[in-house]
Amino acid sequence: MALLELRGISRQYRIGQIRIDALRDVDLSVDKGEFVSIMGPSGCGKSTLLNIIGCLDLPTSGTYSLAGQTVEELDDNHLSDLRNRFIGFIFQTFHLLAHLDAQANVELPLVYRGIGGRERREKAQAALEAVGLADRRRHYPLQLSGGEQQRVAIARALVGEPAVVLADEPTGALDSRSGQSLMAIFQQLNHERGLTIVQVSHDESVARRASRIVRLLDGAVESEEAVEARPARKAAKKVREAY
């Protein structure tokens, strides 16, 4: 069974008398351990699709199941719980709280789960170590570079051990070197930990770090392409060299 299963997903919006078809009859399956990139021109429905996958929005029609749970049957409280337990989010802007240090930012999802202080600290430290920031855990966001802030955001997404990480233009606010280093971390997490990742990107070189590219056009799936896998050791080597 696929970890993510979308069938016939459509999403319409209305602005006055105008109907906008953001998504049209989208079918998409993502297996556990896959790394998938979603690409397409501006306005093609990429972010709308990612929002539906992340249970931040519901389709107008069609069915979506996450880890065997049919999403459209759930109320807001159950959707919130599903997001918290199964999904880690990474955004183009880092959404770190300026008054909290790196470790406290990473601990936040665990606070919402009611996990005790000692366990939160241990899990946050392990997540920061996984992205090469164990020695920066007491630094505040303004004391970190853009690449370091995005790695804190990755650690925050990982700390709850999600079934899938969703990344919306994760390299969009980074320079090219930091962006490629970030992709090396994604590859390492995917290859070595079997982490399932779905990312939206407009950058072909970033998208091709995944194992599969899904291209959207005018709200529909235009094509899918398997990408030649890179060895896990190559991705890990790049992480060590970059950090």
Neighbours of 97 (CB within 10 A): 11
Which domains are delineated in the chain?
32-55+77-212+226-242 (3.40.50.300)
Spatial distance between the Cα atoms of 166 and 185, rounded to a whole number of angstroms: 14
Q: What's the pLDDT at 172?
A: 85
> How large is the average pLDDT for residues 73-79?
89
Phi (first) and psi of residue 107, to 5 degrees: -70, -20
Banded pLDDT at 231 (limits 50, 70, 90): low
Nearest to 155 by CA among 175, 177, 139: 139
Please name every residue paired with 225 in a beta bridge, in sequence order, or none if there are none: 213
Q: Quick check: 233 pLDDT over 70?
A: no
Higher pLDDT, 46 or 228: 46
**pLDDT, mean of residues 118-139:** 93
Structure tokens at 208: 């091709």
Q: What is the 3-state secondary structure (H, E, C) of the chain?
A: CCCEEEEEEEEEEEECCEEEEEEEEEEEEECCCCEEEEECCCCCCHHHHHHHHCCCCCCCEEEEEECCEEHHHCCHHHHHHHHHHHEEEECCCCCCCCCCCHHHHHHHHHHHCCCCHHHHHHHHHHHHHHCCCHHHCCCCHHHCCHHHHHHHHHHHHHCCCCCEEEEECCCCCCCHHHHHHHHHHHHHHHHHHCCEEEEECCCHHHHCCCCEEEEEECCEEEEEEECCCCCHHHHHHHHHHHC
* Alpha carbon distances (Å) from 169 to 86, 150, 153, 172, 213: 20, 11, 13, 5, 14
Write down the pLDDT at residue 229. Answer: 63
pLDDT tier at 242 (50, 70, 90 boundaries)?
Answer: very low
| pLDDT reading at 53 higher than 90 | yes
Task: Report d(CA 228, CA 225) in Å as an integer.
Answer: 10
Q: Dump pLDDT digits (tens) for 147-190.
A: 999 999 999 999 999 999 999 999 888 888 888 888 999 999 99
pTM of the model: 0.87
Q: Pairing mode, if any, of strands 87-90 and 164-168?
A: parallel
